Structure formats: C-alpha cells, structure tokens
Amino acid sequence: MKKPLWWGIGIVFVLSLAYGGWWLWGRDQGPMKVKAVAVAPITMQEEVYATGSLVPVSRQEVRVLNPGLVTKVAVKSGESVKAGQVLITLDSTLTDAQVAQAKANVEAAQTGVNSAQSNLNELKRVQSASEANLSPLSASPGLSSTKQAEGVLAQSKAALKQAQEALKIAQVQQGQMVYKASIAGTVIEVNAQEGNLSPVQQPLVSVADLSQMNVESRLNELDAGKVQIGGKVTISSKLLGDTPAQGTVTEISPQAVATASVQGNSSATVGVKIHLDQVPAGLKPGFSVNIQMIVSTKEGVLAVPQEVLFQEGKKNFVYLIQDGKLVKTEVLIGIGTETHQEISSGLKAGDLIVLNPSNELSQGLAVTADTGSGET
C-alpha cells in the first residue's frame, strides 16, 4: 500500500527538477528585457526653488521714543489713507506751553534788537552832526559810546537768533504730537488706544502701500551664486492656485549671514529681494509663497531622464546598451531639472540607456531594449 505513495512522490520530484532545469536553461539562453530610452538633445532650464515672505515696497511705521498720552486715534486697521492724513494725536499741553513761551522770548528779543538799533542810530546821527559842526553847542559823543552801542546791538541780535532757534525746536516738538501719513496706502496695524500711554516697543500705527509688493527670501550659498539681478521668478502659493504671479530679482545681498538651524548647525544664507510685476488680489504682507527662479537656459543639450542615473561613490553611471549587452558607463553631468539631467560627457545622441536600473543588472548582461514607453 505504501509503494504507490513513494512512486507518486518520485514522479513529482522528477517533474520539479525538469521544470527547474527548463526555467534556468530558458533564463540563461534568453536576454533580459529592460526598458530603455534614447539620449536626445533638448532645451533645459536650471531652476532654483525657495520660499519667501511678502513685504510691502513702501511702509510707514509711527514710533515714539518716549511714551505720551494718546488723545486721538484717527484711523482703523484696514482703512485707506492719503498722504498727509492725520493718523494719531498725542497730548500737546506741554509742547503748546513751550511754543507759547518760545514765541514770547522771540518777541522780547526782537524788542531788544529794535531798541539797540535805535540807540545806535541816534548816537551815529548826533556824532555826524557834531563832526559837521552843525550843532556847536552840543556835546559830541565819543567813539567809545558808538562802539559800545554796536556791541549791545550785536548781543541783542545773537539773543534774537537763539530765541528763534528755540522756537523752531519747540514747534518741531509740538508737531511731533500729531502724526500724519507720509504715504498713501492701507492701515495694516494699530497699537494705540485713546486715553492710554503710547507704546514704545511697537509702532503706534503702520501704513503700507499694498499695490506694490516684494518677496524676500534667503538662499543657500550654492543657489545664491546662480541667481542674477533681473532674473525672472515665478511665485506660487495655495491662495494663487493654478495662476502663479511673476516677478523680477531686484536685489541680492552683498554678504552672507550665518543662521543656526533647529538641529544646531550653522549655515550661511544670502538675502534676495524679488519685485512682483503685479500683486494678485488676496496676497497680504507676511504671507509665505513658493519661489521658482530660472537661473540658466541651454538649448540643444544632451539630456537623459533622472531615472537612468545611479551613483557609486561620487561618480555617476548609466547602463548603455551596445550590441544587445549592457555597458556600465561613467557620465559627467551638467545642469539638471526635476525630470532631466544634462550629460556633458560619456554619451552621444541616439545612445540607448536603461531606465530604472536594478541590482540584477551587471556589465555584459544580454538584454532586449523596450523603448515602447521610454521615447523622449
């Protein structure tokens, strides 16, 4: 009863060996099918990606060095204002008194000058008459009296000038109690309240022209070296959706600044300013946006998809298909994009190379190229 069982197992074992031998023989005899793509010249643009924040081109911040009593807040956040419009007023009781006193001092000094001038004129008239012998009985004033009168006049004029300067200072201080808009724009911040002391650490009022905006960003050393003044920039964000804004690089900082990362590492970055050609509706100061800068454009360059490259150490390789076999080929690369990489050396137009090379591939392996979905 047991013999048929062993006989059956033997048949299965023999069949398994036969199938395995056939599979191995077929595998060894038939070339592996791989997806391949041809090297071709294309136009490539090297791009730099970063993030930035929106900043108004023109902005006014009303700040005070010393706190004062706020008597009137004339604007609200979000309100449009014109240049010269009153924004906020501080208590001017003290400065008004100082201006009144300064004006009185100027008037008194002017009276002193007028009196000194009249006295000098009279002395000169009497002296001239005496010298002309028009009035022989009158006593002739001496030169010392005239010189003394001239000195008094000079002192009076100096006192008048000093009083006038003091009045100017008092009037400036008085004017600082009323703050006006220096630009036309929108009130974006109000930190003062009527009846309270004005804050010192914060601006009392901030006004910005929201029709003109910049994007400020910081780039690493490598990317900053590629960007140039006048370079075109594409600005995108969730708010903008499928309609990105355009801008132009207007400023690149002349120095790098080292900043510490969350991990504690220090890296140098360079500030870049980008002016928006037009400000899309809804964008506000402080919003974060994505930046795409075209830093280099090349036409007719040999390029391959990024998926064909693999690295060993610091060198880049591809598998080139020649006469139905793989040739491991080192390549030198140039500019790159998210999808393609320039090949500056190692390949020529028309060469077939393997897409997504796996660890199963090796030098000299026989392959069949499938370019059905890999044409460029």
Supply the pLDDT for residue 147. Answer: 87
CB-based contacts of 355-359 (< 8 A; 24+ apart in sequence): 355/34, 355/35, 355/36, 355/37, 355/305, 355/307, 355/308, 356/35, 356/307, 356/308, 357/308, 357/310, 357/318, 357/319
Supply the pLDDT for residue 259. Answer: 74
Supply the pLDDT for residue 23. Answer: 45
Per-residue tokens: 80: 């449009």
Supply the pLDDT for residue 2. Answer: 43
8 Å CB contact between 54 and 273: no
140 & 197 share domain: no
322 & 359 share domain: yes
pLDDT band for position 261 (50/70/90)?
low
The domain of 74 spans 58-91+177-210
Supply the pLDDT for residue 271. Answer: 94
Range in 129-143, 309-323, 331-345 with the lowest mean pLDDT: 129-143
**What tens digit of pLDDT does each residue of 13-23 get?**
544 555 455 44
Report field, pTM of the whole predicted structure over 0.75: no
Kindly report the number of other CB atoms within 10 A of residue 40's CB atom: 14
- Boundary (domain end) residue, out of 124, 148, 175: 175
Q: Is the pLDDT at 50 greater than 90, yes or no?
A: yes
Cα(first)–Cα(last) distance of the chain, in Å? Answer: 67
Supply the pLDDT for residue 175. Answer: 86
Mean pLDDT for the stretch of residues 148-171: 93
Mean pLDDT for the stretch of residues 304-312: 92
CATH of residue 197's domain is 2.40.50.100
Which residue in 7, 47, 63, 50 sits closest to 179, CA to CA? 63
Q: Is the pLDDT at 212 greater than 60, yes or no?
A: yes
Q: Is the pLDDT at 340 greater than 70, yes or no?
A: yes
Q: Is the pLDDT at 346 greater than 70, yes or no?
A: yes
Mean pLDDT for the stretch of residues 134-150: 66
135 & 146 share domain: yes
Residue that wins the pLDDT comparison between 177 and 144: 177
Q: Is the pLDDT at 28 greater than 80, yes or no?
A: no
Number of domains in the chain: 4
CATH of residue 266's domain is 2.40.30.170
Which residue in 269, 252, 251 sits closest to 260, CA to CA? 269
The percent of residues above 70 in pLDDT, for the chain, comes to 86
156 & 201 share domain: no
Is residue 375 a part of any domain in this protein?
no
104 & 71 share domain: no
113 & 72 share domain: no
Rounded Cα–Cα distance for residues 256 and 221 (Å)? 8
Is residue 168 a part of any domain in this protein?
yes
Is residue 104 a part of any domain in this protein?
yes
Supply the pLDDT for residue 133. Answer: 59
Is residue 12 a part of any domain in this protein?
no
Question: String of b and e for 57-71 (b: at least 16 CB within 10 Å)?
Answer: bebbebebeeebebe
Per-residue tokens: 325: 């076999």
Residue that wins the pLDDT comparison between 118 and 12: 118
Supply the pLDDT for residue 375. Answer: 43
- Boundary (domain end) residue, out of 155, 175, 195: 175
**What tens digit of pLDDT does each residue of 68-121 get?**
999 999 999 999 999 999 999 999 999 999 999 999 999 999 999 999 999 989
pLDDT band for position 296 (50/70/90)?
confident
Residue that wins the pLDDT comparison between 294 and 346: 346
170 & 140 share domain: yes
75 & 198 share domain: yes
Q: Is the pLDDT at 351 greater than 70, yes or no?
A: yes
Supply the pLDDT for residue 142. Answer: 61
Is residue 229 a part of any domain in this protein?
yes
Rounded Cα–Cα distance for residues 376 and 371 (Å)? 10
Is residue 351 a part of any domain in this protein?
yes
241 & 313 share domain: no
φ, ψ (nearest 5 deg) of residue 171: -70, -35
Is residue 376 a part of any domain in this protein?
no
Is residue 201 a part of any domain in this protein?
yes
Q: Is the pLDDT at 315 greater than 80, yes or no?
A: yes
Give residue 13's identity as a one-letter amino acid code: F
